[in-house]
Structure 1
């Protein structure tokens, strides 16, 4: 038995070494090692943005729109929602507002319905439909994630709200966040803001985000939106999806940098959480790639904050009659709640430093 155990360990080491070599080969082939500036990890900002990524899951629209929900306090209590967009047909949700403490516009996207996350994970494993990313040779992206942002009611709602906010507050920075599929949408949004609105001061931070495109897309994304942090947690299964195929570098999806991996070390009651800032490859083999992605529970908690829907069975919305005056619907029944930002009692100090920089 001892000899057999040693043999298994030896085989594992050989396979791991081969995988690392294959990874470096893919990086070299696609030029994915970038030499320009990558985002700097700000742990304080991460603990703020994760609360926005959690709050966007709330299904009581009145509490979310008025920012009185159970997840709307703590580090994010000084926030005013400008626009809340609900794509009822596809069960998508996002909001845009202004955070006084960050001197920034904050955009958050909701992730996957909790009741269907197992099916969603299985689909990511076995059903991958690629499309060409417009204007970038060789860049392929996930059809579902791309469509969720670009071909739904969320994109026009988000862009409209940003124009409103900047018309009042000027050229303040924009922070985009989301968890799970919401993280994928946040990445596409950050890229879109650079390309469509020519926004330069855009920062993206996602939590438990899946891969959204191939190596060519990851390289392109990193050039356009370098101020991006992807936070991963322990054995969270979703950042491992769609699967990374070592033997098919042209087909496999590839994360863009920069990853920060949260994991615990210690024994018994002496547990310490490490926040490891990973390398510039996007697929650092010493970060979340170093462990198996087999945990949904790790996916639903980041920095001790609950992610996912506030109702265990579904992500149904609850609409209060008092919101009718703020809302409008389209032919598909999708809802947008919006208010004029000039009515918000906000005073931003645009002369502050970079407290909220990624």
Structure 2
């Protein structure tokens, strides 16, 4: 198979217990539904598969490359890229099935030294999973939310109802995706409690929230809550999301931009499908909108700094696909099926800096 040609030096040796191996196979198949059983079995034996290995078995048969003009974007500074790369490791670590408690999750842990594990959270019903750590070198409280373990299931189960954001004044008309707010609420008290204790122990710290996919959405909701609950810390909160879907209405975006400004890093990648969902016109014209500030990884693997004044810069991700007519859930699911074997879906997992997203730890 293609994977075998990439991994000739990798012995087909299973280092995992039978139970661990079966778990790895199951979640890998959920993420890579077009991979053969043989390739899934081989991938599951590799302790820390690379992006190239995952891409090789993904079943991608078509790759959409845009010709749209991105000349108005500028390359992000090396310091920003280094920061985004580092936080992507923390975001990716939330997917690891093993090794978080002692910070031994292979690349995602070895490349994030000075990390003290604090707490892991995992709720079955709402599927809200993640962890809290403290980085002594960065002086940062880091809260990472895992994305879904099955992208298709997440969209099928997606509750697209918008509800008032509980951490915002009612007069602002801020509305958020019902499921994202509900998912955060089940861990709200745990996160508030741990952040409060860490701020007492490390009073000069700042707070970083991160997540991939639906995890990025919950990280944004969490940031808004913590900014309200710890008002003296609001100016020390940073948000790093990767492949995040739209989270709320235009008033939601306005509130996020107002509270966090240039401390928001919303990273997108090539034609990543999930960043275009829910469609802007689902639930009504202009009902959904991204917040700033976007950093787009383009087709040359360069990180571009997008507009500081426009929420959805057409020179970046928003200019790669036009999904405005996806005004029903049925149309969204049809699109997902259509691009299951195309680059749009694999762009959601592979290409966001050092490590692939998903349970490939």
TM-score, normalised by the number of residues in structure 2: 0.67
Residue matched to 1:314? none
Aligned pair partner of 1:94 in 130, 138, 149: 130
The match for 1:276 among 304, 308, 315 is 304
Whole-angstrom distance in 1 between the partners of 2:304 and 2:117: 33
Runs (5+) with no aligned partner, structure 1: 1-12, 17-39, 266-272, 312-358
Q: 2:196 aligns with which of 163, 178, 187?
A: 163
Match of 1:238 among 269, 274, 285: 274
- 1:69, CA displacement in angstroms? 1.6
Decide whether aligned partners of structure 1 residues 207 and 242 sit closer, same or farther in structure 2, where only a CA change above 3 A counts.
same
8 Å Cα contact 2:141/2:198 also seen in 1: yes
Aligned pairs, number: 258
The range that moved more, 289-298 or 198-207, is 289-298
Corresponding residue for residue 90 of structure 2 = 52
1:117 aligns with 2:151: yes
Equivalence map 1:209-358=2 (5 Å): 209-226=244-261, 227-245=263-281, 248-249=284-285, 251-265=286-300, 273-279=301-307, 280-292=309-321, 295-301=344-350, 302-310=352-360
Q: State the Cα RMSD in Å.
A: 2.3
Distance in 2, matches of 1:258 and 1:277, equals 8
Q: Kindly name which structure, 1 or 2, has the bigger radius of gyration based on alpha carbons.
A: 1
> Which structure exhibits the higher relative contact order, with contacts defined as CA atoms closer than 8 Å and separated by 6 or more residues?
1
Within-5 A mapping of 1:134-173: 134=166, 135-136=169-170, 137-150=172-185, 152=186, 154-173=187-206
SS state at 1:219 partner: helix
Q: SS of 1:51's equivalent? A: helix
The alpha carbon displacement at 1:310 in A equals 3.4
**Structure 2 runs not aligned, ≥5 long:** 1-66, 69-77, 324-338
Q: Equivalent residue of 2:268, what SS? A: strand
| TM-score (normalizing by structure 1) | 0.67
2:259, 2:94 → 1: CA distance? 26
The structure with the greater share of residues assigned to strand is: 1
Deviation at 1:216, TM superposition (A): 1.1
Paired position in structure 2 for 1:355 = none
- Compared with structure 1, are the counterparts of its residues 247 and 307 closer, same or farther at alpha carbon in structure 2 (3 Å cutoff)? closer
Within the candidate set 149, 164, 174, 1:132 is matched to 164
Assess if the C-alpha contact under 8 Å between 2:144 and 2:211 holds in 1: yes
Task: Give 1:248 deviation, angstroms.
Answer: 4.6
Q: Which moved more, 1:88-97 or 1:296-305?
A: 88-97
Confirm or deny: 8 A CA contact 2:184 2:222 kept in the other structure: yes
Distance in 1 (alpha carbons) for counterparts of 2:282 and 2:126: 33
